[in-house]
Amino acid sequence: MKRSLAIVVQVLLIAGMTFVVTSIASQAQAQSQKRKAAKAQAQAAGTQPHLDEAYRKLRRAHYLLNNACRTLGGNRMKANQQIEQALNEVQAGITAEHGSVPTISESSNINVTPGQIHPYIHDALQKCRDAKTQLQAAQAAGGHRDNAIQYIDAAVPFLQAAIQEPPCH
């Protein structure tokens, strides 16, 4: 009897230790999966801030050009068309990789240097340059990033030409 009781105790001890080891292993595996998921999410979000910021800058440039002087030899309009194309590319990149585009407020004060002619155009030019910098820092977004940079590069000469136009009256 004592011998069978000892065997039962041993079996119970082995079963209990097996249960504890299995539980610990399951918890460790679950924590590992959570860490991997968090890491993957952080990596996916790693490019989004640059794309989001580029989108904000381009939206602001678009807003500025829509509110700038209309008599700039067609350069304002041509630059705005290129910026719209760049916006479409950035939006497609954000949507493809991350979901939805950021919400933004377009209206705010513009950067004006005293005596500056065409402050809206100057500010739009700076926003385009800033957007390009953000896009260059982002990881490739299915070709959309590179396309957006090309559209920004195409808009810059039009903005520079618009700045050279006589002041609006």
Burial class (CB in 10 A: 0-12, 13-18, 19+), 90: buried
Tell which wins on pLDDT, 107 or 53: 53
| Domain boundary assignment for the chain | 47-163
Interval 144-154 mean pLDDT: 96
Which pLDDT band, with edges at 50, 70 and 90, does 13 fall under?
Answer: confident
pLDDT at 161: 96
> Residue 47 has what pLDDT?
45
Q: What is the overall mean pLDDT for the chain?
A: 83
pLDDT average, residue stretch 55-75: 92
Contact partners, residue 161, CB within 8 Å, separation at least 6: 73, 75
More confident position, 133 or 6: 133
Distance, in Å, from the CA atom of 50 to the CA atom of 54, rounded to the nearest integer, reads: 6
pLDDT band at 85 (very low <50, low <70, confident <90, very high): very high
CATH class assigned to 47-163: mainly alpha
Containing H/E element for 23? Answer: helix 2-66
